Structure 1
Amino acid sequence: MTTVPAPRVPGLVELLDRLERAVAAALIPVTSAEGVSRDGWRVLLMLARTGGCSMGEIASHTTLPAPTATRVVDRLVASDLAYRRNDPVDRRRVLVHLARDGRALVERVCGRVERRVGAALGSAHTPERAQLAKLLQLLADRRTEEPVGI
């Protein structure tokens, strides 16, 4: 009986996978305690960063199918974390905005997760930590420029 060697997992791919799991481990308990799903959290972050967004923009940014994005926004609206308003420029278009309670939730979750990650990395702002932040930002920016993948 011959054994097939396990495929080599490139270091960066494995690291990105481990990083995604670490982020989920830090984020999911905090957002779940606030009653927000992972998809709901992505929408809230987008709204906190950009202001009013159309459903198409939300679906595109979160890579959710349009019906799923609508259900996520419906839940956020029902929980008073977001609200819908007609676009003042184009009254046919509806925009989703972050509500006051949604902004407070984003600030709470970000604060808790940043403290947790800060404790894991140490509180010192080192050149290495600044470089890591720069590289992660570059990777995130590239991800949004190339929707098919990295």
Structure 2
Amino acid sequence: MLDRVERAVAASLVPATSAQGVSRDGWRVLLMLARGGGRSMGEIASHTALPAPTATRVVDRLVSDGHAYRQNDPVDRRRVLVHLAAGGREVVERVCGSIERRVGAALGARRTPERVQLAQLLEDLATPADDDL
């Protein structure tokens, strides 16, 4: 069942992110950065489960596209943090809006108590607990 859900999510997500010129890995990084604060490359690689060189290439692409920017850590000048740029925020808002409309239309078209319950369960799973942040 999880495999089917993952394929369904990908079927909605890939066209929405591709339309914005963002890869699936780039999308995962943008979502992480959208939670606020700067993130180190190590944090990005760990959170997205990408090998460090791949995470670096993904961030390089996001920076060159104006979706993210790098800045020295104000506390530790040796460390560089990646932040979400205004262009990245716009991409996140457009993609999330597109996905929400598709999900809303799918749930609304065949709204049953079971689907409402499933939507709530999926929302609960997708909402990180405070200790997951």
TM-score by length of 1: 0.77
Q: Provide the secondary structure at the position in 2 that maps to 1:84.
A: strand
Q: Provide the secondary structure at the position in 2 that maps to 1:122.
A: helix
Q: Structure 2 vs 1, CA of residues 28 and 129 (structure 1 numbering), >3 Å: closer, same or farther? A: same
Measured against aligned partners, the alpha-carbon deviations of 1:29-55 in whole angstroms (never above 9, x if no partner) come to: 010011100000000000001321000
2:107 to 91, 114, 121: 121
Q: How does 1:127-146 map to 2 (within 5 A)?
A: 131-140=117-126, 141=128
The yes-or-no answer on 1:57 pairing with 2:43 is yes
Gaps of 5+ in 2: none
Letter in 2 for 1:88: P
The yes-or-no answer on 1:80 pairing with 2:77 is no
The yes-or-no answer on 1:40 pairing with 2:26 is yes
Letter in 1 for 2:18: S
Q: Structure 2 vs 1, CA of residues 88 and 17 (structure 1 numbering), >3 Å: closer, same or farther? A: same
Gaps of 5+ in 1: 1-14, 146-150
Q: Provide the secondary structure at the position in 2 that maps to 1:83.
A: strand
The yes-or-no answer on 1:110 pairing with 2:117 is no
The yes-or-no answer on 1:17 pairing with 2:3 is yes
Letter in 2 for 1:77: V
Q: Residue 93 of structure 1 aligns with which residue?
A: 79
Q: Residue 70 of structure 1 aligns with which residue?
A: 56
Q: Provide the secondary structure at the position in 2 that maps to 1:85.
A: strand
Q: Structure 2 vs 1, CA of residues 18 and 111 (structure 1 numbering), >3 Å: closer, same or farther? A: same
Q: How many residue pairs get matched?
A: 130
In 2, distance between residues paired with 1:129 and 1:89?
47
